[in-house]
A and B are shown apart, each in its own frame.
Chain A
């Protein structure tokens, strides 16, 4: 494969696309599939077949369009978006191509939910067919890889990533360029690149969506990374709960191998790279990099103390680069457009865009990609469309079980790594759960503690027993049986578990408790002193 051959494939595909006057795109990512978008697609297909060549139309399955709450979503070539489409609407939709849009199914696209987004990672999501490599190539796919292989040295690639200011999208926000440079300089006989697709935060589905909507983008990111750090083998560690993502990744790997974009002597160069899938067996802690490596090695998925970091001693003791799905998905556009282009987006220390899974009590739940530095208020009230049923905003939870709950006072805070950390939460992988006054913050803290307790691997004592004890105390509070002494114990345990646990899971497990104690102390007080839960969630049936 040469750049010219790649361009040829892209041109052929574009010509073929241009020959079809009308394209109807049906979302076939997990969200819409769960509300029967497959049946919609089949009904449309059937109707097009019935009408024969006069239909001048092609039905296409595409990835996530973002507004999952209104699925199944269907879009047409002229940009019309339909929501809540049923299989029985197929005839009307196809008639609409000639006679003007079907009013009752129309979904307005001139609203902030769509207008305020800036899509880099999700640029192809909802546009291309994730199961066809030709469409990815026609959308500038694999151009970054060929550009890097033929015109850049590994050092130049890393310099470009450093310049972009990209930080790890898995949660901790470690500078990606620095990580790449460390692995490239580490000494080892064999280096590895691992893609962490073990997304496990409750309510988060960013990585799932990227893998289901645009799997080649992640492969291309991994290929560029492998070239930059000098790796020839890679793994994608994806959780088994994502069967569709796994299926599409397998298809993508096969297609890339067939075109010589993956395998030995890629594009006629000396660079070779193989990718294998490893399926996670349902342990949240395996998203922690050392536990993930242990799991790939076939061992029990438990973390080990760092240093040594995986960049120096990782998989099988060799230098290993681990990045998250979204991090890799950012790589091709950075290489294509240059690090400066990327660095111009976002804030001073948090560059680029971030994908968030907006969930909970907002009008528009779904997947959004926004530039860093946008405020929480814009996220919740403009993009999210505010709280439904005229209720009051109470808190927004970011960062999953390692994050915190931020109150209304924090709404004008910009969303970037530092601001969130200062406020007692974290960026995390991008889960964002909005809560209204019907949520009890003690109950929320208990929910996340229950999650951490059941997901603790049990290796170190503070996390294994500490999360159990904290959960027990929170349970007592939510049963309205607690004493002020219990809150003192809870605070003491938070401090102990945070500072002495072995890995990030334990170290961050107290965050939901600490942030709710900080911003919603009154609610704790109400439970203890007045035996009352303002949200009316706790204490039911225990009187």
Chain B
């Protein structure tokens, strides 16, 4: 939100000059100016967690690669969003995601509408050179209208955030550690028996992959509708 005292900073992104409010992130400025920075966990309208690490950028004078979704602009900052090194890391990260669970596009409800698939195409990933894990991940179809297929989950936690921040239900959360992490409903009960789920379906619509989908959709039929997010954000912003 714009505050009365917000200062304006100027910075360079990919050699071009921009101005930004001091409370904006590098990603905010890039998005505003149609500079594409890859990302999977960030979604406009939700809080940022800096977890997928795809939106890392290079900042002149620093060896670190900050995540642009959580890094505020600074005066005189010189940001590079694409370089051979960044692309190599981004490719590596997306490849790791593909090896983690069972992402089989040809039988996925989200085939053709999947952010992970699109990201792989954008990053020119033609093959995965790390070995696949092929875990036995569960599918929970106990809900009347929705299904969660953990085989396709990338743990971006958008469902967790939208449920807590927008719907206010906090049905979703994460359990476990490391490679064993899994999103859960309530205290790891079947989704269909959840007391807190309002059945709003926001989690399904923000899910970047086919992990969360509506029942009755077949291969490639699940298209996500996210118009509600900027709309809700706008409406709530006006009232608060």
Q: Which of A436-474 contact B (CB under 8 A)?
A: 453-469, 472
Q: Which residues of A contact B197 (CB under 8 A)?
A: none
Residue of B whose beta carbon sits closest to that of A461: B93
Quick check: A458 and B179 within 8 Å, CB to CB? Answer: yes
Most B CB within 10 A of own CB, among A459, A461, A472: A461
A499 within 8 Å of B (CB atoms): yes
8 Å CB contact of B131 from A462, A466, A472: A472
- 20 more contacts with CB within 8 A, not counting A457-B177, A467-B178, are A300-B174, A304-B49, A305-B50, A305-B67, A307-B72, A453-B179, A458-B176, A460-B51, A460-B52, A462-B96, A464-B178, A465-B99, A465-B100, A468-B133, A468-B178, A468-B179, A469-B131, A496-B92, A500-B65, A502-B53
A283 within 8 Å of B (CB atoms): yes
Interface majority SS (helix, strand, loop, mixed), chain A:
helix
Q: Which residues of B contact A529 (CB under 8 A)?
A: none
Pick 15 A–B contacts, CB within 8 A, sort by A. Answer: A283-B177, A305-B66, A307-B72, A455-B177, A456-B178, A460-B53, A462-B53, A462-B92, A463-B178, A466-B96, A467-B179, A492-B92, A499-B65, A500-B65, A501-B53
Q: Which residues of B contact A458 (CB under 8 A)?
A: 155, 174, 176-181
Residue of B whose beta carbon sits closest to that of A507: B64
A465-B96 contact in complex given A460-B53, A500-B89, C-beta closer than 8 Å:
yes
A461-B178 contact in complex given A468-B133, A500-B65, A500-B89, C-beta closer than 8 Å:
no
Q: How far is the CA of A493 from the CA of B49 in the complex (A)?
A: 23
Q: How far is the CA of A492 from the CA of B177 in the complex (A)?
A: 24
Q: How far is the CA of A38 from the CA of B67 in the complex (A)?
A: 53
Quick check: B93 and A462 within 8 Å, CB to CB? Answer: yes
Quick check: B131 and A464 within 8 Å, CB to CB? Answer: no
Contact with A along B160-201 (1 / 0, CB 8 A): 000000000000011011111100000000000000000000
Q: Which of B125-146 contact A (CB under 8 A)?
A: 129-131, 133
B70 within 8 Å of A (CB atoms): yes
A111 within 8 Å of B (CB atoms): no
Q: Give the 6 A-B CB pairs with smallest separation, nearest first.
A: A458-B181, A456-B178, A465-B96, A305-B50, A305-B70, A496-B92
- Chain A residues at the B interface, C-beta cutoff of 8 Å: 283, 300, 304-305, 307, 453-469, 472, 489, 492-493, 496, 499-502
Q: How far is the CB of A64 from chain B (nearest CB, A)?
A: 32
Residue of B whose beta carbon sits closest to that of A468: B179
B97 within 8 Å of A (CB atoms): yes
Quick check: A454 and B177 within 8 Å, CB to CB? Answer: yes
Most A CB within 10 A of own CB, among B133, B155, B176, B178: B178
Residue of B whose beta carbon sits closest to that of A465: B96
Contact with A along B88-130 (1 / 0, CB 8 A): 0100110011011000000000000000000000000000011
Quick check: B65 and A457 within 8 Å, CB to CB? Answer: no
Q: How far is the CA of A456 from the CA of B96 in the complex (A)?
A: 15
Quick check: A500 and B53 within 8 Å, CB to CB? Answer: yes
Q: How far is the CB of B72 from chain A (nearest CB, A)?
A: 8
B13 within 8 Å of A (CB atoms): no
Quick check: B129 and A461 within 8 Å, CB to CB? Answer: no
8 Å CB contact of B51 from A307, A461, A469, A493: A461
Most A CB within 10 A of own CB, among B52, B53, B65, B176: B53
Quick check: A304 and B53 within 8 Å, CB to CB? Answer: no
Residue of A whose beta carbon sits closest to that of B101: A465
Quick check: B50 and A304 within 8 Å, CB to CB? Answer: yes
Q: How far is the CA of A305 from the CA of B67 in the complex (A)?
A: 8
Quick check: B70 and A457 within 8 Å, CB to CB? Answer: no
Residue of A whose beta carbon sits closest to that of B54: A461
Q: Which residues of B contact A489 (CB under 8 A)?
A: 129-130
B56 within 8 Å of A (CB atoms): yes
8 Å CB contact of A461 from B52, B71, B173, B177: B52
Q: How far is the CA of A472 from the CA of B89 in the complex (A)?
A: 20
A500-B93 contact in complex given A304-B49, A305-B50, C-beta closer than 8 Å:
yes
Q: How far is the CA of A460 from the CA of B70 in the complex (A)?
A: 14
Contact with A along B36-53 (1 / 0, CB 8 A): 000000000000011111
Q: Which residues of A contact B130 (CB under 8 A)?
A: 469, 489, 493
Quick check: B89 and A456 within 8 Å, CB to CB? Answer: no
Quick check: A459 and B49 within 8 Å, CB to CB? Answer: yes
Q: How far is the CA of A469 from the CA of B128 in the complex (A)?
A: 13
Q: How far is the CB of B22 from chain A (nearest CB, A)?
A: 13
Q: Which residues of A contact B180 (CB under 8 A)?
A: 458
A500-B70 contact in complex given A300-B174, A453-B179, C-beta closer than 8 Å:
no
Q: How far is the CA of A465 from the CA of B128 in the complex (A)?
A: 14
Q: How far is the CB of A290 from chain B (nearest CB, A)?
A: 11
8 Å CB contact of B89 from A453, A468, A499, A502: A499
Q: Which residues of A contact B99 (CB under 8 A)?
A: 465, 469
Q: How far is the CA of A463 from the CA of B100 in the complex (A)?
A: 12
8 Å CB contact of B53 from A307, A461, A492, A493: A461
Q: How far is the CB of B95 from chain A (nearest CB, A)?
A: 9
Q: How far is the CB of A237 from chain B (nearest CB, A)?
A: 18
Q: How far is the CA of A461 from the CA of B130 in the complex (A)?
A: 14
Q: How far is the CA of A493 from the CA of B99 in the complex (A)?
A: 14
Most B CB within 10 A of own CB, among A304, A455, A460, A467: A460
Most B CB within 10 A of own CB, among A283, A307, A501: A307
Q: Which residues of B contact A499 (CB under 8 A)?
A: 65, 89
Q: Which residues of A contact B176 (CB under 8 A)?
A: 458
Q: How far is the CA of A459 from the CA of B70 in the complex (A)?
A: 15
Q: How far is the CB of B127 from chain A (nearest CB, A)?
A: 14
Q: How far is the CB of B68 from chain A (nearest CB, A)?
A: 11
Q: How far is the CA of A489 from the CA of B89 in the complex (A)?
A: 13
Quick check: B49 and A500 within 8 Å, CB to CB? Answer: no
Quick check: A496 and B93 within 8 Å, CB to CB? Answer: yes
Q: Which residues of A contact B67 (CB under 8 A)?
A: 305, 502
A496-B178 contact in complex given A465-B97, A472-B131, C-beta closer than 8 Å:
no
Q: Which residues of A contact B96 (CB under 8 A)?
A: 461-462, 465-466, 469
Q: Which residues of B contact A467 (CB under 8 A)?
A: 178-179
Quick check: B51 and A496 within 8 Å, CB to CB? Answer: no
Quick check: B155 and A464 within 8 Å, CB to CB? Answer: yes
Q: How far is the CA of A460 from the CA of B65 in the complex (A)?
A: 14
Q: How far is the CA of A466 from the CA of B105 in the complex (A)?
A: 23
Residue of A whose beta carbon sits closest to that of B98: A465
Most A CB within 10 A of own CB, among B97, B131, B177, B180: B177
Q: Which residues of B contact A462 (CB under 8 A)?
A: 53, 92-93, 96
Q: Which residues of B contact A460 (CB under 8 A)?
A: 50-53
Q: How far is the CA of A455 from the CA of B180 in the complex (A)?
A: 11
Q: Which residues of A contact B100 (CB under 8 A)?
A: 461, 464-465, 468
Q: How far is the CA of A454 from the CA of B177 in the complex (A)?
A: 7
Residue of A whose beta carbon sits closest to that of B154: A461
Q: How far is the CA of A495 from the CA of B133 in the complex (A)?
A: 21
Q: How far is the CA of A300 from the CA of B160 in the complex (A)?
A: 13
Q: How far is the CA of A467 from the CA of B179 in the complex (A)?
A: 9
Q: Which residues of A contact B181 (CB under 8 A)?
A: 457-458, 464
Q: How far is the CB of B49 from chain A (nearest CB, A)?
A: 7
Q: Which residues of B contact A456 (CB under 8 A)?
A: 177-179
Most B CB within 10 A of own CB, among A283, A500, A502: A500
